[in-house]
């Protein structure tokens, strides 16, 4: 079943701020400022304890692909790494040096991310079945239990201007947990890829949407 997106537009100082809630992503974007951005630098994503760096790289690369798909250029990882090392040798504080990163990389915005959840577990859940009693002919409710797989993944990201440090966009997956039957072939890796893919589709939808 197709789910429709719901967008609300606010006028803040004559600048349209669009809030979008779709089946996967919750996005707040200043489209006027976003349209000024040609090149984006994707910073190393933060992550909660226990979440491997490989997961962060997976998310960073997913957003790299999302931005390229909507026509933005993305600073190469090796180039950005060299720039950050140069800044670290001379100064402190990445966000405070957003302007310097922009000047050296040619990026008009930096993407910061944070992965707060990435887990899986099996739980017993109750469910109801309705059967017809052959004697009374009445429909009866029978409560049963079964095991189900639960996957949890949460990523949040914000796009910061290198010109004035303002927030241009925030994006996060709105429903981090989902359950599947034990017989389903879904894994945590596939679930994470599914969420990131849907977030990219939602991002493309809102950036193409006319004000």
In this prediction, residue 194 has a pLDDT band, given cuts at 50, 70 and 90, of: very high
End-to-end C-alpha distance for the chain, whole angstroms: 26
Which tops the pLDDT comparison, 148 or 94? 148
Q: What is the pLDDT of residue 8?
A: 38
Reduced 3-state DSSP string for 101-138: HHHHHCCCEEEEEEEEEEEEEEEEEEEEEEEECCCCCC
SS3 assignment, position 52 = coil
Per-state percent for the chain, helix, strand, coil, to nearest 5: 30, 40, 25
Owner of token pair 């469910």? 127
Q: What is the pLDDT of residue 20?
A: 55
State how far the alpha carbon of 127 is from the alpha carbons of 144, 149, 152, in Å: 5, 15, 21
Is the pLDDT at 211 greater than 60? The verdict is no
The pLDDT tens digits for 161-175 are 999 999 999 999 999
The pLDDT tens digits for 71-91 are 999 999 899 988 888 777 666
174 CB neighbour count, 10 Å cutoff: 15
Which tops the pLDDT comparison, 136 or 69? 69
The pLDDT tens digits for 94-141 are 555 788 899 899 999 999 999 999 999 999 999 999 998 888 889 999
Q: Report the candidate in 210, 209, 149 with the shortest Cα–Cα distance to residue 22.
A: 209
In this prediction, residue 157 has a pLDDT band, given cuts at 50, 70 and 90, of: very high
For residues 40-54, average pLDDT: 96
Question: Considering the chain, what is the average pLDDT of its residues?
Answer: 87
Is the pLDDT at 52 greater than 80? The verdict is yes
Pair type for strands 15-21 and 39-42: unpaired
Q: How many Å apart are CA 41 and CA 101, to the nearest integer?
A: 9
């Amino acid at each position: 079943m197709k789910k429709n997106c719901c967008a609300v537009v606010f006028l803040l100082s004559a600048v349209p701020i669009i809030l979008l809630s779709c089946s996967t992503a919750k996005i707040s974007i200043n489209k006027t400022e976003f349209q000024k951005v040609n090149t984006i630098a994707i910073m190393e994503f933060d992550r909660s304890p226990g979440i491997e760096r490989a997961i962060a790289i997976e998310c960073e690369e997913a957003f790299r692909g999302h931005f390229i798909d909507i026509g933005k250029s993305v600073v190469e990882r090796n180039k950005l790494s060299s720039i950050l090392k140069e800044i670290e040798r001379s100064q402190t504080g990445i966000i405070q040096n957003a302007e310097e990163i922009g000047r050296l990389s040619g990026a008009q915005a930096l993407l910061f991310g944070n992965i707060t959840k990435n887990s899986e577990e099996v739980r017993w859940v109750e469910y109801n079945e309705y059967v017809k009693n052959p004697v009374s002919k009445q429909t009866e409710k029978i409560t049963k239990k079964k095991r189900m797989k639960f996957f949890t993944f949460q990523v949040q990201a914000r796009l910061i201007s290198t010109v004035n440090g303002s927030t241009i966009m925030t994006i996060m997956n709105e429903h981090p947990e989902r359950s599947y039957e034990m017989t389903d072939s879904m894994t945590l890796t596939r679930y994470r890829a599914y969420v990131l893919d849907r977030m990219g589709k939602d991002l493309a939808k809102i950036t193409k949407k006319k004000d």
